[in-house]
């Protein structure tokens, strides 16, 4: 019986992008139940004394990451354009994904937001862009936004981020199978294999 | 015609260990010429404002790395014991590997030093241990050490480290195919594929 795999992602995170684009199909192919967990990296980086992305703090490493992203996206056959702003905050998208993580449209929504940021260079920090994305995937924004922005709705992202910190997450994407933690897009296949172990 | 692959490694680097153990065979199987490039990470981390390994600076990430190493070494069927001291400096071993990078015993020497550090928990910072390792792989230390510790011998490691910095290396292991840089043990197969491209 495959164990569920939790996919912890943050919309500003570069390596979360190819993972987000591939994970639903990869889990379905393997018969592994997928749990979407939206969280924020900012508070986690902050607790380690960082005020921005490590890729901005260490520019040589950042330059490599952008080249690596080009190669990965080419290999995975997904579009890639370096965003004109990085990292793009997108608390509204993160809140929607946290609050509606178990909805039947979570996969399409997550992929649409990542594609907007990393392939179409749209400003996912702009609430109007997020509203437009909801419409583009055939949803009616009003009810979704109302549920997301209620006190209970907002609390889900905060709870997820607190849980991420308690469970030892330090970056994104992170794949969890029970307490076993796998960090990075590179570990997607390994995490799925782990979920299939007896 | 496969391009040569440069393997940039540092003996204290954890993820360099599985790469070092696997790379000679992987390159031979693929018909890719392998160039061993020993260098020091300390000056490179220092230039980025770091005074020790990022795994010590960020303990949550460090805890993950040790678990990840266990999984990788188990999967690669190589021994692993967390060293009682980390990172272990080993300038003598690094100098030997830099000065004798084109010798016919470089592969066995590199693997023996990594095995000593990460599987047998021997202090590779102790010159006597490095001398013993040379003997264990059937070499006579005296001539090797004399060549290594001459001014010209010592200069090779310094030159390698300077070159690493100029070429944008920021961690280890790094695999270079011409100017194309691949960082990490995870990228070993991808770098070999790159060397095989037309």
Of the candidates A66, A42, A56, A59, the one whose C-alpha atom is nearest the C-alpha of residue A169 is A42
Its ipTM equals 0.91
By C-alpha distance, the chain A residue nearest B50 is A58
* Phi, psi dihedrals of residue B177, rounded to the nearest 5°: -120, 100
Which chain B residues contact residue A48 at CB under 8 A? 58, 60
**pLDDT for A168:** 94
Q: How far apart are CA A4 and CA B68, in angstroms?
A: 20
pLDDT 10s digits, A31-66: 999 999 999 999 999 888 888 888 988 899 999 999
Cβ–Cβ contact A61 with B under 8 A: yes
* CA-CA-CA-CA torsion sign (B86, B92, B94, B97): negative
Residue ranges of E strands in A57-198: 174-177, 180-183
Cβ–Cβ contact A128 with B under 8 A: no
Cβ–Cβ under 8 Å, residues A7 and A37 = yes
The residue to which tokens 């200069």 are assigned = B155
By C-alpha distance, the chain A residue nearest B168 is A60
By C-alpha distance, the chain B residue nearest A68 is B182
Q: How far apart are CA A16 and CA A133, in angstroms?
A: 19
**pLDDT for A84:** 97
Query: pTM of this prediction?
Result: 0.94
Q: Hey, is B96 helix, strand or coil?
A: helix
By C-alpha distance, the chain B residue nearest A50 is B58
**pLDDT for A193:** 97
What domains, with CATH codes, occur in chain A? 5-192 (3.40.30.10)
Interface test with A, best of B51, B61, B75 (most A CBs within 10 A): B61
CA A169 to chain centroid: 13
Q: Is A60 close to B181, i.e. CB distance below 8 A? A: no
pLDDT 10s digits, A98-146: 999 999 999 999 999 999 999 999 999 999 999 999 999 999 999 999 9
Which chain A residues contact residue B63 at CB under 8 A? 168
pLDDT 10s digits, B51-63: 888 898 889 999 9
Cβ–Cβ contact A143 with B under 8 A: no
DSSP symbol at B163: H
Which chain A residues contact residue B68 at CB under 8 A? 183
CA atoms within 13 A on the CB side of A93: 30
């Amino acid at each position: 019986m495959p164990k569920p795999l939790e996919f912890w992602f943050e919309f500003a995170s570069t390596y979360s992008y190819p993972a987000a684009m591939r994970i639903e199909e990869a889990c379905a192919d393997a018969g592994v139940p997928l749990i979407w967990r939206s969280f924020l990296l900012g508070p986690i980086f902050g607790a380690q004394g960082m005020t921005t992305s490590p890729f901005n703090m260490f520019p040589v490493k950042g330059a490599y990451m952008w080249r690596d992203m080009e190669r990965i996206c080419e290999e995975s056959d997904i579009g890639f354009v370096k965003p004109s702003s990085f990292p793009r905050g997108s608390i509204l998208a993160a809140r929607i994904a946290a609050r509606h993580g178990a909805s039947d449209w979570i996969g399409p929504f997550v992929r649409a937001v990542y594609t907007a940021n990393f392939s179409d260079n749209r400003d996912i920090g702009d609430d109007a862009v997020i509203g437009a994305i909801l419409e583009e995937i055939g949803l009616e924004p009003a009810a979704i936004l109302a549920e997301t922005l209620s006190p209970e709705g907002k609390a889900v992202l905060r709870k997820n981020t607190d849980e991420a910190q308690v469970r030892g997450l330090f970056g994104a994407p992170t794949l969890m199978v029970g307490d076993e933690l796998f960090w990075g897009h590179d570990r997607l296949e390994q995490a799925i294999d782990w979920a299939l172990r007896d």
